[in-house]
Amino acid sequence: MTLLAVVTIAIVRQRSLFGVVILASVYSFLMASVLVVLDAVDVAMTEASVGAGVSTVLLLATLHLIKTTEIRSVRSHLMPLVIAVGTGAILVWGTLVLPPFGTPEAVIHQHVAPRYVADTIKETGVPNVVTSVLADYRGYDTLGETTVIFTAGIGVLLLLHRARRRGRPNDGETSR
């Protein structure tokens, strides 16, 4: 967790966009490692492949097409700092009323989780509870998330293709 905080501060202080992309990839890898420790291996694999893999490649391709140095801001950074610290304080204050991490008596574990664990094989025929929740109980939600990610990927590819073609003449024109 300390490394996540250090990488986050390094990202904020970085002026080179290339450095930001590489540090964001490192952050995604560290986050995937945290998710493995929390026994969320499926989410960790997604974070590693999308966050550290695909996103890094797309961002590096984008940097190939644009300038890679950030222009220094002339505005004061005091107000964004106050808002960020205030938001962080409110979030920390809100966590004080939460039950301890991993408590089986927590409210979230009392709603539908017992039913999923008890009835998933009978209702869905799928022996893996996580798979049955994602594919059967929350199938439309998963389809929506997949559609959003696919649409975002197509949008990025179209933007990269358009930026690459900007320097070339149209089919009807001849270059001089």
CA-wise closest residue to 54 among 165, 153, 174, 176: 153
Please report, for the chain, the start and end positions of each structural domain, with discontinuous segments joined by +. 1-97
> With 60 as the cut, is the pLDDT of residue 169 above it?
no
Tens digits of residue pLDDT in 136-145: 887 788 788 8
Domain covering 1-97 assigned CATH 1.20.120.1200 in the classification: yes
Return the number of other C-beta atoms located less than 10 Å from residue 132's C-beta: 20
> With 70 as the cut, is the pLDDT of residue 92 above it?
yes
Tens digits of residue pLDDT in 16-72: 888 888 999 999 999 989 888 887 777 788 888 888 888 888 888 888 877 666 566
CB 56, CB 68: distance < 8 Å: no
Query: Which string of DSSP letters, residue by residue, matches 85-98?
Result: HHHHHHHHHHHTTS
Average pLDDT over residues 69-85: 78
Instruction: Name the residue type at position 7.
Output: V
Tokens representing 59 are: 């961002």
CB 60, CB 21: distance < 8 Å: yes
| Residue entry with tokens 């960020």 | 84
Q: How confident is the model at residue 86 (pLDDT cuts 50, 70, 90)?
A: very high
pLDDT recorded at residue 69: 61
Average pLDDT over residues 81-99: 91
> With 90 as the cut, is the pLDDT of residue 89 above it?
yes
CA-wise closest residue to 61 among 136, 135, 159, 139: 159
The pTM for the full model equals: 0.53
In whole angstroms, give the CA distance from residue 40 to residue 62.
31
Average pLDDT over residues 114-142: 83
CA-wise closest residue to 29 among 16, 46, 14: 46
pLDDT recorded at residue 52: 84
Tokens representing 61 are: 């391709």
- Can you list the positions of beta strands (E) in 50-170? none
Q: How confident is the model at residue 153 (pLDDT cuts 50, 70, 90)?
A: confident
